[in-house]
Chain A
């Protein structure tokens, strides 16, 4: 049952929130041993939350739009009094004294929090294999990864352990696992959803967003968590129109650009480029043919629905990956400095404070986190700043300009979410650069701060789900949700449903 279906059934009294929660906890109990989506299942808390919803309904009090809907939270979202680990030894057992704004908003909407989901440590990774507590497996094929870093949240929704889940997306960490697990995942405009209580990876890129089995579910979840928050200085204080109403609208006349650089090649020959430019003429490499075919199918589906589809070029899109792997580690190196063993989390004792700090960080962080802290420290260092971090910031500015220009010509952009379908566990763990390439199509939206959504559209040659990505300009959530809904309606038959 979809989240909106659950909410309607609970609100109408057809089901109790408690029975929904019990079913959900049963499914987790039966299935999560194999999947490993959760770091922590909040059985007691979920039942108590559900009982409160039922009691409110009994008293005839108004309940929120997500009344009784089971929601899973990525375990980098602070929950008051409940362990929040970032899947790191560093924070094992730490209980925040406060809840993230999004958690408060979900509760206010009547949602029932069922657990905290696994992630790549501190959200650094694309497969959820970098978790200190073991990997999560893809419910579509348990020999495969669920993607990452929000792999636990994507898997929880794909497996039916929760109707909705929250993730965080710094370089694709919602959209890529959504694609690999065959669910819908959206990264809203930077600043649309408060980051207060999201444990930071890269502050200028991090954004919380929803997972749902359907576009409408994801839209409802987004609606519940979005909006200005005075506790986050980067939160946007801008009016927000309801998104649900737009989903049924068609795409007739909408201008859709297929983004050439992220679809296997550079600008088309007719734009004047010569063959000598080759693939390096602009296109990112490594996007699989079956994924490209599904994107092509999606473009055709939109065209048939009345959209005006054309191929467009954003040359700097291919620079995104390099810029990202300087900016994100640079910010991370600073954000993760506070894990020093002094105030909370892990402490490994040593002769003095400085040595304790080193011992704690050596023991507490995994290899990928250490790699990025070192990368970022280097990129910000005196004598290297201009060549690395400074240059990456200039690329970011260039990308903003080029995307702004392309949005003069088209309303939304279409491209793959991930270069491939879900890959085998262990397939890329030995080669960090290969792993980083997973994010090549999702990173541009983080660097520009624009919203983007991944929606399942058919399957790859291996029978696993393919996600296509719809990107739009700042604050265009309503628009990209509408396009995603159109794609969902047009998607080939068999089963995005969990």
Chain B
């Protein structure tokens, strides 16, 4: 199977196979909430983005936000789903941070069904559905132990109530913990690419639950699953799946069976703990919400969404790798696409910049929020300066940082800062001085084996860099060192 288990976290006992499906809640980054005109914004003062509708005040009525539906359909199409006529349903249960004590969601007629997500390793995970629903408010337990059972009181912030969500439900096609993480990473990349969510797990705008079960390898049965909640990072996701799978294998192996239940991941304890079991699961009494009318997107609407869909991450990564002609590693391509810098790099490459060096500079030295002042031409000029040896790598990094701030041309910055790589006679003099100051090291360099020589070359390059305040080109220093031990090369 492609994407077979690698790494210790995924190793299961012989004869057992992991079966995982994910449920991912994603907050859509629309300007306003799903059913009212309140701002959809994270981090504001509690209960400032609220109105009668999202507070569920008596007599208020929801009106669906067309932009949220558009975002959801865009996501559906990006996941290869069929976009269908849909109805909103009420999911009824009591909770203090849910203003109406029911959640407006989609049930038996969701907007998106039957899609797929292809992981970078080629493994394909089916998407059962991606439906629209509203978020709840947020409860903070205060005083006492600060946990739900021992707090003195609770505060509720309804700013999040009514924020549009899409819940993406995968089929149980995931076979390793690494695949689960790759699924979430790839989904996040898609969300960012199509601009429908900022998908931040740490801020809760992307929340992942994992349905975990195991089965004998080669079987196609689906055994009792547990739903793992409270997974706030990719690391938690991987650890929780691995822990839970081992727990299931141990139970089955000792003649017991897991109970179908919700379990919570305890990050500190590195284990899952039991929550609600199937027997006391709530009956949500779903029924069509009579306050809303069905959604009936036309074929033209869906066609327009398809036409406007930007290139997806897989295609963007492939384009970057192809443009690099072997010089761009897949990991850098993924990083640049995630940071939305692939367009900049591609443009710089087509302006003549060296692909490998361009990607290295951007991947390593442009991890900043705002890089709007970096133009393809500026980047190409910078890479040309560095590639030709006119500035050193260290200087190039400084210039890039200056461009981010000021937007000046690399040439202007280089001149202002007095940058130019030290070369020729000046560099040779400096190298001689450094050798003279470090005779023991030089002796060992000349007589040592390859490992010693490599280590000591690093030492001498470092000394030269210090002496020249970074204006030397490390590669040029290394060439000089080799020449001094072996005599001038023929060229």
Contact = CB atoms under 8 A, between A and B. Distances in A.
A96 B51 CA distance: 11
B86 to A, nearest CB: 14
Given A234-B290, A382-B283, 4 more contacts: A230-B63, A231-B61, A334-B285, A353-B154
A233 B69 CA distance: 15
B293 interface: yes
Contacts of A343: 55-57, 99
B303 to A, nearest CB: 25
A233 B64 CA distance: 8
Given A353-B154, A382-B283, A334 B96 contact: no
A198 B291 contact: no
Contacts of B292: 233-234
Interface of B: 52, 55-64, 90, 92, 94, 96, 99-102, 154, 156, 283, 285-287, 290-293
A353 B96 contact: yes
A199 interface: yes
Interface in A288-331: 330-331
B291 A233 contact: yes
Nearest to B58: A199
Contacts of B99: 338, 343
B59 A334 contact: no
Closest 7 CB pairs of A and B: A337-B101, A204-B290, A380-B285, A203-B290, A199-B58, A78-B59, A197-B59
Nearest to B36: A231
Contact of A78 (B56, B58, B154): B58
B92 A338 contact: no
A233 B61 contact: yes
A200 B287 contact: no
Most buried by B among A195, A198, A342, A382: A342
A100 B59 CA distance: 8
Nearest to B281: A382
A459 B123 CA distance: 79
Does more than half of chain A's interface fall in helix, strand or loop, or is it mixed?
loop
Contacts of A94: 58
Nearest to B88: A233
26 contacts: A77-B59, A78-B59, A84-B58, A84-B59, A96-B57, A96-B58, A199-B58, A199-B59, A200-B291, A231-B61, A231-B63, A232-B63, A233-B61, A233-B62, A233-B293, A234-B292, A331-B290, A334-B90, A334-B285, A337-B92, A337-B100, A353-B154, A380-B285, A380-B286, A381-B283, A382-B285
Interface string A334-360: 100110101110000000011001000
Nearest to B293: A233
Contacts of A84: 58-59
B101 A338 contact: yes
Contact of B285 (A96, A204, A233, A381): A381
A457 interface: no
A196 interface: yes
Interface string A59-88: 000000000000000001110000010100
Contacts of A199: 58-59
B94 A340 contact: yes
B170 to A, nearest CB: 25
Contacts of B90: 334
B290 A196 contact: no
